[in-house]
């Protein structure tokens, strides 16, 4: 649904319709005045779930949980000022966990920055290197709607591939809900305006795996790091098949889908604190699935053992 009563709301409607066609299904909103057009456009969209959460920090971490649950990006919206700063801890978490998050922060227009205007902070590159991509959008203009559409398509793709993570779009809006007649838009978008907006499918990079080399290793180990996939049962079954095929045990992180497998060891920290066991369990080969667990004992042990390590990770 494209709302045309107000230029800012039209801009926001095109924004969310584009994201919907790319695959967005849920928007988490922390309401505020400057982000009013974004909230309205998300709330009235017939196919988007708009969830209002007043506290920005809580909203951001809630959105991360939805990304993990749905296996697709979630949009996170806030108003201008320090509201955006409260998203920062969750954005760092999203970056380190490779979780795609679309962060939309409303902002003051350029003329209301650095002039003691209320609810204004410097939001340009607010999240630094914690985001995969940053872009400040133009102020809304009818002629720039194709630019808006294309920027969103690129941002969505960057959030998903090659290294999934958060992207930040800063959205300046002038007079967010201007009700004057000259702020209204009368007309319609071109008939095929959204025709080329299609969900992005990340390319699959398949390489041959050294099965024969692994089978020749006498002392092998599988390390299953934190899982961020949606189908944890399928992931656990695949790890179980690999473990049975090679007859290698699995050290499973507490956040791994492999915890609870027959060959899985979750409390490996206790074993690795024993000097005798630490030495007798030295592996010559390690298959690392996903990110390395944060266990200090495990990392020190691997460093001391210096085995051959194959890291298999989508990123």
Count of domains forming the chain: 2
Q: What is the pLDDT of residues 178-200, one digit of tens each?
A: 766 555 666 678 889 998 899 98
Phi, psi values for residue 136, rounded to 5°: -95, 125
Tokens 């460093």 correspond to what residue? 303
Structural domain of residue 303, as residue ranges?
A: 211-312
What global pTM score does this model have? 0.83
Low-confidence ranges of the chain (pLDDT < 50): none
What's the CATH code of the domain at 286?
3.40.50.1220
Domain end residue (candidates: 166, 183, 200): 183
CA–CA dist 223, 135 (Å, integer)? 37
Both 177 and 266 in one domain: the answer is no
Q: Considering the domain boundaries, does residue 201 fall inside one?
A: no
- Does residue 298 lie within any of the structural domains? yes
On whether both 176 and 252 belong to a single domain, the answer is no
Answer yes or no: is 218 within a domain.
yes
Instruction: State how far the Cα of 47 lies from the Cα of 284, in Å rounded to an integer.
Output: 52
pLDDT in tens, 45-87: 999 999 999 999 999 999 999 999 999 999 999 999 999 999 9
Q: Are residues 22 and 117 in the same domain?
A: yes
Residues 176, 230: one domain?
no
Q: How many residues in the chain?
A: 315
Domain assignment present for residue 193? The answer is: no
């Amino acid at each position: 649904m494209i709302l045309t009563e107000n230029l800012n709301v039209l801009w926001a409607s095109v924004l969310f319709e584009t994201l919907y066609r790319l695959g967005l299904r849920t928007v988490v909103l922390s309401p505020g005045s400057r982000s009013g057009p974004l909230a309205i456009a998300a709330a009235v969209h017939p196919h988007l779930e708009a969830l209002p959460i007043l506290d920005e920090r809580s909203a951001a971490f809630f959105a991360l949980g939805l990304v993990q649950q749905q296996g697709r990006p979630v949009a996170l919206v806030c108003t201008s000022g320090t509201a955006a700063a409260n998203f920062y801890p969750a954005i760092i978490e999203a970056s380190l966990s490779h979780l795609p998050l679309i962060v939309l922060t409303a902002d003051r227009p350029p003329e209301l920055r650095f002039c003691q205007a209320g609810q204004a902070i410097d939001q340009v590159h607010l999240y630094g290197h914690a985001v995969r991509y940053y872009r400040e959008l133009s102020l809304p203009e009818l002629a720039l709607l194709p630019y808006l559409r294309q920027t969103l398509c690129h941002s969505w793709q960057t959030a998903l591939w090659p290294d999934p993570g958060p992207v930040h779009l800063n959205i300046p809006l002038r007079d967010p809900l201007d009700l004057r007649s000259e702020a209204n838009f009368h007309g319609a978008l071109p008939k095929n305006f959204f025709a080329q907006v299609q969900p992005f499918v990340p390319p699959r990079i398949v390489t041959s795996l050294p099965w024969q080399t692994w089978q020749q290793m006498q002392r092998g180990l599988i390390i299953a790091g934190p899982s961020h996939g949606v189908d944890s049962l399928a992931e656990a079954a695949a790890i179980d098949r690999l473990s049975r095929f090679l007859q290698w045990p699995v050290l499973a992180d507490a956040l791994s889908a492999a915890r609870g497998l027959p060959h899985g060891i979750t409390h490996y920290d206790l074993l690795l604190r024993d000097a005798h066991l630490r030495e007798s369990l030295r592996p010559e080969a390690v298959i690392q699935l996903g990110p390395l667990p944060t266990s200090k004992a495990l990392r020190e042990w691997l460093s001391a053992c210096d085995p051959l390590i194959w890291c298999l990770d989508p990123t």
